[in-house]
């Protein structure tokens, strides 16, 4: 019963967060969606395949949550960060605090990884923009 309540809460929170299409690529929104996806993936994976399933579920859930909440230009990097953070966070949290520590670790890891991936993608986009801008200025001389 406790697991069903947690899954339903995560599903409702994700649905309500993603239903509003305002500010599509906000880093906070990407991190929150990745964290919720990671926790839901961890719970489902734990029921299906034990600890290994929970790790894979945390990674897939974190990647899915980050990809859904990201803009298409930043989707890949956010998903990779969410997947790596979710899987690693679950493993570290499970070793430190048992099952509940695994859930908390997967949420924090996926949120941090997705936010970092999103930020790296935005920085790369800005650098490419500046480089093109500089080349245009140089070619005018």
Global pTM value: 0.76
d(CA 37, CA 132): 37
Cβ atoms of residues 62 and 43 within 8 Å: no
d(CA 113, CA 129): 24
pLDDT digit string, tens, across residues 29-78? 999 999 999 999 999 999 998 989 999 999 999 999 999 998 888 999 99
Q: What are phi and psi of 37, to 5 degrees?
A: -65, -35
3-state secondary structure of 22: coil
d(CA 89, CA 62): 11
Both tokens of 49, joined, read: 């395949």
């Amino acid at each position: 019963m406790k697991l069903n309540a947690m899954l339903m809460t995560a599903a409702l929170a994700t649905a309500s967060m993603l239903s509003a299409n305002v500010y599509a690529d906000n880093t906070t929104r990407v991190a929150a969606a990745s964290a919720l996806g990671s926790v839901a993936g961890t719970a489902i994976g734990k029921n299906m395949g034990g600890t290994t399933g929970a790790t894979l579920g945390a990674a897939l859930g974190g990647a899915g949550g980050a990809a859904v909440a990201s803009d298409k230009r930043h989707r890949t990097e956010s998903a990779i960060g969410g997947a790596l953070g979710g899987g690693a966070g679950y493993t570290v949290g499970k070793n430190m605090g048992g099952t509940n520590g695994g859930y908390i670790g997967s949420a924090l890891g996926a949120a941090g990884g997705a936010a970092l991936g999103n930020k790296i993608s935005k920085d790369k986009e800005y650098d490419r923009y500046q480089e093109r801008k500089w080349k245009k200025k140089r070619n005018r001389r």
